[in-house]
């Protein structure tokens, strides 16, 4: 009987250091290389894109991230895996769009149309015709302006000024801007993109710009390409991890794994899958430390995290919705958390005894982070218990 290759936790951590560009010798020169290495940077919190990229750049710089997002536009944001905003390279974007983002965009549009159709205080009833006319007018206004905020476009397109009552009669009843919703769906559809923020790179307030049209590979081909890249960066791993990361059905997940020829392996925590070329041992790259931001793609890359995160540390580092906060890493394990105080000081704390060498390396990373942050102050969008405690 042929036994499946065994991939230990130590081997998974060795791969992580190399492939996620976390070991100092593996750091990248370009932000595009970082985005591809982790198959997309989490972008729900704008600061995460910068912090996650700079943690993996040989010469960290907010200007380098600005370049790829707003000058070269070689990295674009897509509402995609698990209905999360990811920043991916324009090379990968067609595959993310076809495999994942298009389905999400359809659901977002259906949800919006249902809410608009029941809007009792609209200037005129919302139906497919009116929505299409409003979208065309918004796109024309944006093309004329070049870049614009939602409120600026609402000056040109009056329908965008309307609001919709959400959850009427409920204790949590609220009004939602038609403009923000319509433009969000146009972005999900790939017609527009998020431009420069209004303020610093930590700001969630941004301008809109017309997006370049993406090629449309067949959906099955797109899924296979995304899985191939995920396994190359995050594998060997489990079927459950991949299904969770993508947000796909089990059937689609298994079909894509079959299409890339994934092979069975034995992980320390159960069965796993790997690319056929990824079953041989890799060399340990040596000691490394990293300070990664909240929602970092490495910290959020797997559903089963026991091989790099002590379950007892989860209550300190995650919020109640399952969002990870800023983390401190040592040799492939999460060992603590960090925060930035109002005076700019980067502070950190380990949740386990890591030894003198680790503390020295972590302190050096904290100084490196402080150095490129300069006068910028960062507060994670999703606050966690340890982060809150560190900033007191």
Domain ranges of the chain: 1-26+215-392, 93-210
Residue 328's nearest CA partner among 309, 350, 298, 357 is 350
Q: What is the pLDDT of residue 121?
A: 66
Decide which of 169 and 15 is more confident.
15
- Which pLDDT score, from 0 to 100, does residue 163 have? 85
pLDDT category, 115, cuts 50, 70, 90? confident
13-27, 159-173, 175-189, 224-238: range with lowest mean pLDDT: 159-173
Q: What is the pLDDT of residue 1?
A: 47
Nearest residue to 245 via CA among 223, 267, 261: 223
Confidence of residue 168 (pLDDT cuts 50, 70, 90): confident
Which residues contact residue 41 at a Cβ distance below 8 angstroms, ignoring those fewer than 6 apart? 34, 35, 48, 49, 52, 53, 75, 86, 87, 88, 297
State the pLDDT at residue 120.
Answer: 62
Tokens of 278: 């990824």
* Long-range residue pairs from 342-345, CB within 8 A, at least 24 positions apart, any chain: 342/377, 342/391, 344/370, 344/373, 344/375, 344/377, 345/370
What is the rounded CA–CA span in Å between residue 188 and residue 190?
A: 5
Question: Do the strands 6-7 and 263-267 form a parallel or antiparallel pair, or are they unpaired?
Answer: parallel
**Mean pLDDT in residue range 58-74:** 97
Q: Sign of dihedral through CA atoms 274, 39, 384, 15? A: positive
Backbone region of residue 199 per phi and psi (left: phi > 0; alpha: psi in -120 to 50; beta: other values): left
- The answer to whether the beta carbons of residues 134 and 182 sit under 8 Å apart is yes
Would you say residue 209 has pLDDT above 80?
Answer: yes
- Report the C-alpha gap between 386 and 370 in whole angstroms: 19
* pLDDT of res. 145: 97
Tell me the C-alpha to C-alpha distance, in Å, between residue 184 and each of 104, 138, 277: 12, 12, 40
- In angstroms, the CA 308 to CA 184 distance is 35
State the Cα–Cα distance between residues 28 and 25, nearest whole angstrom.
9
- Entry pTM: 0.95
Q: Which helix (H) or strand (E) holds 291?
A: strand 289-292
Both structure tokens of 79:
């509402």
pLDDT for position 2:
61
Local structure of residue 309 (DSSP, 8 states): B
pLDDT for the residue 167: 72
Can you list the alpha helix ranges (DSSP code H) found in 58-177?
62-66, 93-96, 102-117, 128-145, 150-156
Is 165 a residue whose pLDDT tops 70? yes
Residue 303: how many other CB atoms lie within 10 Å: 14
The encoded tokens of residue 139 equal 């796109």
| pLDDT average, residue stretch 344-361 | 97
Q: What is the per-residue DSSP string for 156-216? A: H-GGGG-EEEESTTSTT-EEEEHHHHHHHHHHHTTSEEEEEESSSTT-S-EEEEEPPPPP-
Which pLDDT band, with edges at 50, 70 and 90, does 298 fall under?
very high
Q: Using the predicted structure, report yes or no on whether residue 114 has a pLDDT greater than 70.
A: yes
Residue 39 region, left (φ>0) first, then alpha (ψ -120 to 50), else beta?
left
Region of poorest pLDDT, from 101-110, 156-165, 205-214, 258-267: 156-165
Q: What is the pLDDT of residues 242-297, one digit of tens each?
A: 999 999 999 999 999 999 999 999 999 999 999 999 999 999 989 999 999 999 99
CB distance 336 to 325 below 8 Å: no
How many Cα neighbours within 13 Å face the side chain of 36? Answer: 14
Q: To the nearest whole number, what is the mean pLDDT of the chain?
A: 95
Model confidence pLDDT, tens digit, residues 229-242: 999 999 999 999 99
Q: How far apart are CA 153 and CA 155, in angstroms?
A: 5
């Amino acid at each position: 009987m042929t036994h499946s290759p065994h991939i230990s936790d130590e081997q998974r951590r060795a791969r992580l250091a190399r492939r996620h560009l976390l070991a100092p010798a593996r750091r990248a020169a370009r932000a595009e290389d970082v985005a591809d290495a982790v198959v997309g940077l989490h972008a729900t919190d704008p600061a995460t894109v910068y912090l996650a990229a700079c943690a993996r750049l040989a010469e960290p710089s907010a200007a380098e991230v600005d370049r790829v997002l707003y000058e070269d536009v070689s990295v674009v944001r897509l509402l995609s895996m698990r209905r999360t905003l990811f920043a991916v390279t324009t090379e990968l974007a067609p595959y993310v769009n076809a495999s994942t983002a298009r389905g999400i965009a359809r659901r977002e549009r259906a949800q919006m149309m249902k809410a608009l159709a029941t809007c009792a205080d609209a200037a005129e009833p919302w139906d497919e015709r009116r929505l299409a006319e409003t979208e065309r007018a918004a796109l024309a206004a944006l093309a004329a302006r070049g870049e614009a905020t939602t409120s600026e476009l609402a000056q040109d397109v009056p329908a965008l000024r309307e609001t919709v009552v959400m959850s009427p009669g409920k204790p949590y009843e609220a009004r939602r801007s038609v403009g923000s919703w319509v433009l969000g769906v146009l972005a999900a559809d790939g017609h527009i993109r998020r431009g420069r923020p209004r303020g610093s790179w930590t700001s969630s307030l941004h301008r809109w710009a017309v997006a370049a049209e993406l090629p449309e590979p067949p959906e099955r081909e797109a899924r296979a390409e995304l899985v191939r890249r995920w396994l190359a960066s995050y594998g060997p791993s489990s079927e459950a991890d991949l299904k969770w990361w993508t947000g796909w059905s089990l059937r689609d997940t298994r079909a894509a794994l079959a299409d890339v020829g994934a092979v069975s392996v034995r992980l320390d925590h159960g069965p796993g899958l790997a690319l056929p070329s990824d079953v041989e041992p890799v060399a340990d790259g040596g000691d490394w430390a990293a300070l990664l931001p909240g929602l970092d793609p490495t910290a959020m890359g797997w559903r089963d995290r026991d091989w790099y995160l002590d379950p007892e540390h989860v209550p300190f580092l995650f919020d109640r919705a399952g969002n990870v906060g800023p983390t401190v890493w040592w040799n492939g394990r999460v060992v603590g958390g960090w925060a930035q105080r109002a005076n700019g000081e980067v502070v950190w704390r380990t949740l386990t005894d890591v030894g003198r060498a680790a503390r020295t390396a972590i302190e050096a990373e904290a100084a490196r982070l402080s150095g490129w942050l300069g006068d910028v102050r960062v507060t994670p969008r999703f606050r966690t218990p340890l982060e809150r405690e560190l900033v007191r």
